[in-house]
Chain A
Amino acid sequence: MAPVTIRLHGAFSDFANGARRVDLDAATAGEALEALAVAHPSLRERLRDEHGVLRVHLSVFVNADDLASLDGDGTVLHDKDVVHIIPAVSGGGQ
């Protein structure tokens, strides 16, 4: 387990009653997101669908790297890593 910080940006801060920073211990990105959902239950269904898949218009970065380019939920976290929960700049289809 590593002490890490989660930064909530934009709408995802709104869904967590305005919280912008959550400090917690986690060994992997998946554990960090689960711990975040425990700390702020209102975020659980905003982050993942009912089958556990991360929502489409959500970007998760570990420091400066997109989780999608790392090992996904299995990405190993280290002391003082920062996990960013960011509304993706995407869409525009409607």
Chain B
Amino acid sequence: MAKSVAILVGTKKGLWVFRSGAARQRWRAEGPYFAGQAVYHAAFDPRDGETVWAGVNATWGGPRIEVSHDLGRTWTIAANPAFPAGDDRTFARTWHIEAGHASQPGVVWAGTEPASLFRSGDRGHTWEPVRSLNDHPEHAFWSPGGGGLGLHSIAIDPADARSMTIGISSGGVYDTTDGGKTWTNGNAGTRSPIPVPDDPYVLRCVHHLVAHPTVPGVRFQQGHAGVYFRPAGAAKWTERSKGLPTDYGFSAAIHPHDADTAYVIPLEFPVRQSPAPSVGVYRTRDAGKTWKRLTKGLPKGDLEVMREGLATDRLDPAGVYFGSSNGEVWASRDEGHTWAQVSAYLPYVLSVSTATG
């Protein structure tokens, strides 16, 4: 039985950690770690219950990955992900870090800019490029979106360590079923914001993509144009934007125990603020067939929530969390029904993730 939750909040000026007991009523703040430096993502390792990684994209000293083996209290710098000699790409940012499959306790994955995947076999201390993806024949078509050309989503199937799905902006979704030896375009069923003649299904702008942590095969994404589910065994995504105020947004999270329950925070394009009347978290309980707007306790204003800004914990009932670009962090300990503010006046929030221990 889980006894505690930590919210890992990456901002433009450091990482904050908010800790609480399972009741999730009071939060104790720690940080900032890496003060003044942009933390695009921090990730917890549920396999050992103690490791946390942070993607620190610093102005001075360049990008780096930091590793903690005491839940974020102390940190060491990892060897950088690095492109091989002769490659004209240079590691510029870490967008996402993901603990590997439960059967591979040393394996960690990192998504970077320019859009590439790196694998660590030693819990994140050293990294090797996944050239089968980084040099994929379609990689020449990938092109930067507003935030750059990043591989920002890494979804690992809970039943099969060889089955993974990644997301690139702009490039779209790629799947592997052989542990990363080969990758196939996984954009079928998604729309391009701009209609493309003889659509080749490349250059899709997936904004955030997740797998369900316990139900095999399920994938869920918020794209530039649409919200989509892909159930186990399906070859195509099914759009589930109907019932949402916009088909645009960045964040997406899935319920830890129910694969039909998921959350998004729609935004207005191109201003990237919540649409009228105010910010709302939208929840589906039927894999996107219907959506319910959840606002109890939330402010009556507009907020901007970015691609890593929405997360769930692993408790029952599930906690749901989001952070906004104006430095607010909000939490629900009842699956989104009611909300309370965890913190305000933080720097621009880039990511929210959780550690359930």
Contacts and interface: CB of A to CB of B under 8 A. Distances in A.
Interface of B: 12, 38, 58-62, 64, 77, 79-80, 82-83, 85, 90-91
27 contacts: A10-B60, A11-B60, A11-B61, A12-B60, A12-B61, A42-B77, A45-B62, A45-B64, A46-B61, A49-B90, A49-B91, A50-B82, A50-B83, A51-B83, A51-B90, A55-B60, A55-B61, A55-B62, A57-B59, A57-B60, A58-B60, A58-B61, A87-B59, A87-B60, A88-B60, A91-B59, A94-B38
Interface string A13-50: 00100000000000000000000000000100110011
A53 interface: yes
Interface of A: 10-12, 15, 42, 45-46, 49-51, 53, 55, 57-58, 87-88, 91, 94
Contacts of B80: 45, 50
Nearest to A14: B61
A51 B62 CA distance: 13
A56 to B, nearest CB: 8
Nearest to B91: A50
Contacts of B60: 10-12, 46, 55, 57-58, 87-88
Interface of chain B: mostly helix, strand, loop or mixed:
loop
A70 B60 CA distance: 22
Contacts of B77: 42
A70 B278 CA distance: 57
Interface of chain A: mostly helix, strand, loop or mixed:
loop
Contacts of A42: 77
Nearest 9 pairs of A and B residues by beta carbon: A50-B82, A46-B61, A11-B60, A87-B60, A45-B80, A55-B62, A49-B90, A57-B59, A91-B59
A94 B38 CA distance: 10
A54 to B, nearest CB: 10
Contacts of A51: 83, 85, 90
Kindly name the residue among B12, B59, B82 whose own CB sees the greatest number of chain A CB atoms within 10 A. B59
Given A51-B85, A94-B12, A46 B62 contact: yes
A87 B81 CA distance: 22
Contacts of B61: 11-12, 15, 45-46, 55, 58
Nearest to A58: B60
A28 to B, nearest CB: 22
Contacts of B12: 94
A53 B87 CA distance: 13
A89 to B, nearest CB: 10
A12 B59 CA distance: 12
B59 A49 contact: no
A57 B82 CA distance: 19
A53 to B, nearest CB: 7
A49 B79 CA distance: 11
A12 B58 CA distance: 12
Given A45-B62, A49-B62, A50-B91, 9 more contacts: A11-B60, A11-B61, A49-B91, A51-B85, A53-B90, A55-B62, A57-B60, A91-B59, A94-B12
